[in-house]
Chains A and B, each alone.
Chain A
Amino acid sequence: MMTGETQPVTEAELHAWIDGELPEERIAAVERHLADRPEDAQRFERYRAQRALLARSFGPLIDQPLPDHLTPPFAPRKAAAVPPSRFGRGRVWGLALAASLLLFVAGGATGWAVRDRLGGGRGAGGDALSTAFLADAVAAHKVFSVEVRHPIEVGVDQEAHLVSWLSKRIGRDMRCPKATKSGYELIGGRLLADAEGPAALYMYEDAAGRRITLYIRSTKSPAGTAFRFAQDGGLQALYWQDNGLALAVTGDLDRATLSAIAEEVYGALNS
């Protein structure tokens, strides 16, 4: 018969003991175990010392003065009332807006090949990532993501055909994730034309029927850029340039999810 008194003591119980999570009826058994096994007793003494040193080393960080942006009231980096015309083609974005809202580069969050915090100064390599590119990507999202009957031209049931067709037209290999960890699944895609030539639009949908789009076209410059973040009311877009392609992920979702999806796209295209 196994009772609290006779069961052998496990490694997990020894940890639970130093973390104060051991059920009371097992304390005697653990203490006996440690008395009989000096090597375990010594090891757990070191773990206990570690725990104390951890608190002693990092504890003082809690008293660090906070920077303004981490004290309330929190000024949103995202503007709630951005007019829909924000993405209008040819419109020059205000510098302040660009710095504070639109060209947010997820620097630490999504360390990119080019770490470019302000998103500016990349004129030469980033010409394809112009306002016009983003406007095209967002316009395509707006037009096709609400389409009920024909959101896509070729469905995911013909995935191989879809990818080879779009890759051929764009002139680049464009394998994209079929599903994302954030719960969006590829439903299909279509070929579009913009001022620069052919563009591909992949559409993803989650279980609730929410859609995001991935807009891709080729660029002349092989340079990579950081992720840049833009916002239009509820609609968010992350766009970047990599390996001769300009890409934008657009959807009505939060930036972290969007970043995760963009990371997966980036990963799929670079695997």
Chain B
Amino acid sequence: MIDEDASSRPPPDDPRMTPGSPTDHDIAAHVPRLRRYATALVGNRPDADDLVQDCVEKALANRHALRDPSRLGGWLMSILHNLHVSVLRGRRRRGAEVPVEELADDLALSATPADRGEVRDFVRAFGQLTEEHRAVLLLTGMEGLSYREVAEVLELPIGTVMSRLARARERLRVLLDGGVEQAVVRRIK
């Protein structure tokens, strides 16, 4: 949670700041959400925290570039997404696996006892999706962004967002329920 005491401190002076620029506290208000998104996206906390910290730093360094303060949330998500893409390039080359087991166990423990098994299975299955699929599912399903907002965050055409979402849902359905994957995208239009 955000440190309430810190809210009395003035934001640091930054000569580049314009009146509409977000303060540290404006950005901090989005951190729990960014962190939740990043954790679900990368599948482990340390990498997620690195990503969020880089995102906050980049946002602070570029805060004067945000023209519309009401778009702060989406702007931060875009920064995080772009940083994540460069993380992925490194990881593909390295061929490292995301250790999702630990997160699956943690989240199972945060769930009600009745949900535990289902949550664990879900987090594991979710971890088997591609990061592209995870991102689109999280932005629509958990962050509640509209298709248009998702398209802005991911810098994709809206049609691509929708076909990616359809593919991701079908892939996840098969991972969870078994059966044969349907060619959903052919039918998207």
Chain A contact residues, CB within 8 Å of chain B:
10-12, 15-16, 19, 21, 43, 46-47, 50-51, 53-67, 69-74, 76-78, 107-113, 254-256, 259-260, 263, 267
Contacts and interface: CB of A to CB of B under 8 A. Distances in A.
Contact of A50 (B7, B60, B87, B173): B173
Contacts of B39: 58, 61
Contact of A55 (B12, B141, B185): B141
A61 B36 contact: yes
B76 interface: no
B61 A254 contact: yes
B2 A263 contact: no
Nearest to A107: B50
Nearest to B12: A73
B54 interface: yes
B47 A108 contact: yes
Contacts of B51: 108-109
26 contacts: A43-B173, A43-B182, A54-B137, A54-B138, A56-B111, A56-B119, A58-B36, A59-B142, A61-B39, A62-B33, A66-B32, A70-B49, A71-B6, A71-B28, A72-B6, A72-B9, A72-B24, A72-B27, A72-B28, A76-B60, A108-B50, A113-B94, A256-B58, A263-B86, A263-B89, A263-B90
A260 B118 contact: no
B102 interface: no
* 4 A-B pairs with least C-beta separation: A108-B50, A61-B36, A72-B24, A111-B90
B104 to A, nearest CB: 9
A46 to B, nearest CB: 5
B169 A50 contact: yes
Interface of B: 1-3, 6-7, 9, 11-12, 24-25, 27-28, 31-33, 35-36, 39-40, 42, 46-47, 49-54, 56-58, 60-62, 82-83, 86-87, 89-91, 93-94, 96, 107, 110-111, 115, 118-119, 122-123, 126, 137-138, 140-142, 146-147, 162-163, 165-166, 169-170, 172-173, 176-177, 182, 184-185, 187-189
A260 B1 CA distance: 32
A254 B7 CA distance: 28
A198 to B, nearest CB: 29
B33 to A, nearest CB: 6
Given A21-B147, A71-B3, 20 more contacts: A11-B188, A15-B166, A19-B147, A21-B146, A47-B169, A50-B137, A53-B119, A62-B33, A72-B7, A72-B24, A74-B28, A76-B60, A107-B50, A108-B47, A108-B51, A109-B86, A109-B87, A111-B94, A112-B90, A260-B86
| Chief secondary structure at chain A's binding surface | helix
Given A47-B169, A58-B36, A70 B60 contact: no
Contacts of A78: 57, 61
Contacts of A61: 35-36, 39-40, 107
Contacts of B107: 57-58, 60-61
Contact of B188 (A10, A56, A64, A66): A10
A57 B126 contact: yes
B24 A74 contact: yes
B141 A50 contact: yes
B116 to A, nearest CB: 11
Nearest to A260: B86
B54 A109 contact: yes
A72 B2 CA distance: 8
A111 B91 contact: yes
B35 A57 contact: no
B40 A58 contact: yes
A54 B115 CA distance: 12
B130 to A, nearest CB: 16
B52 A57 contact: no
A62 B52 CA distance: 13
Contacts of B54: 109, 255-256
Contacts of A110: 86-87, 90
